[in-house]
Amino acid sequence: DGGITQSPKYLFRKEGQNVTLSCEQNLNHDAMYWYRQDPGQGLRLIYYSQIVNDFQKGDIAEGYSVSREKKESFPLTVTSAQKNPTAFYLCASSIDLGSTEAFFGQGTRLTVV
C-alpha cells in the first residue's frame, strides 16, 4: 500500500523534554511538509522540504527542527524551546513543490503533561 505514515498516533511529553515525531512516505514524493493544527483552527506550516537534504522554515518554525536525510523520511523534533507544543501535528507530501495535490498522514496528537 502506498501512503504516508505518522507515528505515534498519541504522544505525551513532559515539560522541558524534546520529542521527535515520525513521518514516512513510500509515494516517491520529493516534497514533504509539517503542519500544526490547534483545536478548531486551520493548519499552520512549520517546515517544508523540497528535496533530500534541503528544508525551509514555514510560518511557525520557532521551537521546532527537522531533518531530511532520506527521501522517504521527514522527522519533526519539538524542542523544549516550543512554549506551547500541545497540538495535532500533520505531515504531508506531494510529488514536488507546486504539485496539484498533497497527501496527508493521519496525524500525531502531542500533549504536554
Partner 1 sequence: SQQGEEDPQALSIQEGENATMNCSYKTSINNLQWYRQNSGRGLVHLILIRSNEREKHSGRLRVTLDTSKKSSSLLITASRAADTASYFCATDAAQGQFYFGTGTSLTVIP
Residue closer to partner 1 (CB basis): 33 or 74: 33
Sole binder of partner 1 in the list 69, 84, 98, 113 (CB under 8 A): 98
Residue closer to partner 1 (CB basis): 81 or 97: 97
Give the closest residue to 74 by CA, choosing from 107, 109, 25, 36. 25
d(CA 25, CA 58): 20
Tell me, residue by residue from 17 to 46, as one string, x for binding to partner 1 by CB under 8 A and - for no binding: --------------x-x-x----xxxxxx-
Please name the residues in contact with 22: beta carbons below 8 A apart, sequence gap of 6 or more. 5, 6, 7, 8, 73, 75
Q: Does 13 bind partner 1 (CB under 8 A)?
A: no
Hey, CA dihedral for 87, 90, 96, 100, is it positive or negative?
Answer: negative
Per CB under 8 A, residues contacting partner 1 are 31, 33, 35, 40-45, 48, 50, 56, 58-59, 88, 90, 92, 94, 96-107, 109
